[in-house]
Amino acid sequence: MARTNTELKEMDLTSLIEELRATKQEALNLRFRNATGALDNNAEIRTVRRQIGRINTYIRQREIAAAESAK
């Protein structure tokens, strides 16, 4: 389900926001699985957190570009 940086760069703002929502839901599920002991690979949590950071960065870049073009 995780997308590559190239795929994220090519997405528009609404798609990025939807991807962020889905990735945050995935992070929540991983945290629950970790708390119950059902998570086998703890590195998945780190990977998803970094993915959320990447998506937030791309969203912010789109917002800045939109604000600059509106000037």
Does domain 5-70 match CATH 1.20.1290.10?
Answer: no
Model pLDDT for residues 12-69, shown as the tens digit of each residue: 999 999 999 999 999 999 999 999 999 999 999 999 999 999 999 999 999 999 999 9
Distances (CA, A) of 30 to 13, 18, 35, 60: 25, 19, 9, 25
Q: Which three-class secondary structure string do you get for the chain?
A: CCCCHHHHHHCCHHHHHHHHHHHHHHHHHHHHHHHHCCCCCCHHHHHHHHHHHHHHHHHHHHHHHHHHHHC
Instruction: Identify the band that residue 4 occupies on the pLDDT scale cut at 50, 70 and 90.
Output: confident
Domain range list for the chain: 5-70
**For position 29, what pLDDT does the model report?**
97
Supply the pTM of this predicted model. Answer: 0.90
**For position 5, what pLDDT does the model report?**
86
